Amino acid sequence: MSRSACWSYVTWYNELTGNWATWEPGEPVQPGDVGTFDRQRRFIHYKTLVGYGIVPEIATAQLPGQGRLVWSDGDVHVDLKAHGQSPAGFEALGALDAGLKVTAHRDNACVLHMRDLREAWIRDLEKVLRQVKGLLLNGEWEVDSVIVVRRMEARQGFAAVSLGAGQSFEAKAAGAASLEGAGFALASGRGRGSFAKRA
């Protein structure tokens, strides 16, 4: 691959949502962290707002709803399999399993599955930015510094990046009566090594 799985995934997520992602394993990211992105677009934390004398108020919430499965149209093809069906092309899932098969149309195609979502954010962002502006005017702030202002954390799920066009993996549905809103666990068997994955 010309780009790392991390670079491809983080870039894809930013293009899809306008937000930045982190690649695990890595440093935990919290609202109020200050840092920069390295060449592979990993966030490198080097200070906090508190270290600059700014104490932001942080709010938290559990996000409602079921799991989210996200991919870019045209990058991958997703086949769904209901409980009791045996459609052609599925190798890792048994006849009694419900689940899905993801096949990449290109190198570095990305898929993200998230469950048990929690969010944390800086409550009064305008106040914090006014304080940062003061630090910048006094020469106490580096212009290229990035502040984490909001964090969405998926406590269950996975991210996958294809290692080549035509590569695929299967995931078994768990914890739901139907595929809609189901949680998915990566299935063992052929095809598992064709995507770089992070659970």
pTM, whole model, 2 decimals? 0.75
pLDDT tens-place string over residues 112-139: 888 889 999 999 999 999 999 999 999 9
pLDDT of residue 159: 85
pLDDT tens-place string over residues 36-83: 988 888 888 999 999 999 999 999 999 887 678 888 878 998 888 877
Calpha distance 143→191 (Å, rounded): 45
Contact 163, 1 (CB under 8 A): yes
pLDDT band at 192 (very low <50, low <70, confident <90, very high): very low
pLDDT of residue 36: 92
The helix/strand/coil state of 27 is: coil
Tokens read off for 45 = 């934390």
pLDDT of residue 24: 63
Calpha distance 105→77 (Å, rounded): 7
From the list 171, 166, 173, the residue with the least C-alpha distance to 197 is: 171
Residue appearing with tokens 């290109």: 106
Average of per-residue pLDDT across 162-176: 81
Strand pairing report for 76-81 and 150-162:
unpaired
